[in-house]
Amino acid sequence: MSDETLHELDVRRQLCPIPVIKTQNKVAELAQGEVLRVTCTDPGALNDIPAWCRINGHEVLATEEGDLEVVVTLRVGAPSVAL
């Protein structure tokens, strides 16, 4: 990830579904291939954000779980085309 721009999203102290919604909103502002690191305190985000990524064509690069925080790093996929 050395030559990529890393965007940060802090959704600490927010509970489901807010971390996923704010991740979705942030990803909508980014271009394909950009990287976003989402920091959460809701432990459910460790499953929810990767599931959202799979459904929407984004790549999970890493997940980290600490004592009080969860971090999900993802690469933005191609925008979906409305039919």
Give catalytic residues, as residue numbers: 16
Q: Please give the span between the terminal C-alpha atoms of the chain, in angstroms, as a whole number.
A: 33
Strand partners, 39: 10, 71
Distance between CA 58 and CA 45 in Å, rounded? 15
